[in-house]
Amino acid sequence: MKSLNTASKCLLLACLMLVLGACVVVPKELDSQDQDDGQHFSRKVIDAKPISLHGYADRATALSEHESGWFYQTTFVRGDMLRFQIVGMEQYDGLYKVTSEGNIDLPFAPSFPATKLTRKNLINNIEAELVRLKWFYKDSVNVDVSVVQLASINVSVIGAVFNPGRVTINSQPITKPEEAIQQASGAFSSGRNLVSALGAAGGIRPDADISRVYIKRGNKVLRVPLNSLIDGDGFVEMPSLINGDQIIVQSAGFVNPSLIKPSQVTPPGMRVFMSNLTAPALSNAQSAVGSDSTRLPYGSSLLDSVISANCIGGTHQANASRSVVLVTRNHGSNQQLVVQRSINQLLANSSNRSVNPFMMPNDGIACYDSRFTNFRDVARGIGEVISPILLGRLL
* Beta bridge partner(s), residue 95: 83
Look at residue 384 in the predicted model and tell me its pLDDT.
62
What does the alpha-carbon distance between residue 224 and residue 361 come to, in Å, rounded to a whole number?
Answer: 25
Residue 395, burial from CB neighbour count under 10 angstroms (0-12, 13-18, 19+): exposed
Q: What is the pLDDT of residues 180-230, one digit of tens each?
A: 555 555 555 667 888 889 999 999 999 999 888 998 888 888 888 888 777
Using alpha carbons only, give the angle 12, 14, 19 rounded to the nearest 5 degrees.
Answer: 90
Look at residue 63 in the predicted model and tell me its pLDDT.
47
The residue among 209, 299, 210 whose CA lies nearest residue 253 is: 209
Q: What is the pLDDT of residues 298-323, one digit of tens each?
A: 999 999 998 888 887 766 666 667 88
Mean pLDDT of all residues in the chain? 78
pTM (2 d.p.)? 0.77
State yes or no: pLDDT of 47 exceeds 70. yes
State yes or no: pLDDT of 243 exceeds 80. yes
What does the alpha-carbon distance between residue 393 and residue 179 come to, in Å, rounded to a whole number?
Answer: 79
Can you list the domains of the chain with their CATH numbers?
Answer: 1-25+379-395 (no CATH), 26-43+268-369 (no CATH), 57-70+153-254 (3.10.560.10), 81-149 (3.30.1950.10)
Q: What is the pLDDT of residues 344-383, one digit of tens each?
A: 899 899 899 999 999 999 999 988 876 666 566 666 666 6
Look at residue 10 in the predicted model and tell me its pLDDT.
55
Q: What is the pLDDT of residues 60-103, one digit of tens each?
A: 544 444 455 666 667 788 888 888 888 888 888 888 888 888 88
Report whether 246 contacts 158 (CB < 8 A).
yes
Look at residue 32 in the predicted model and tell me its pLDDT.
82
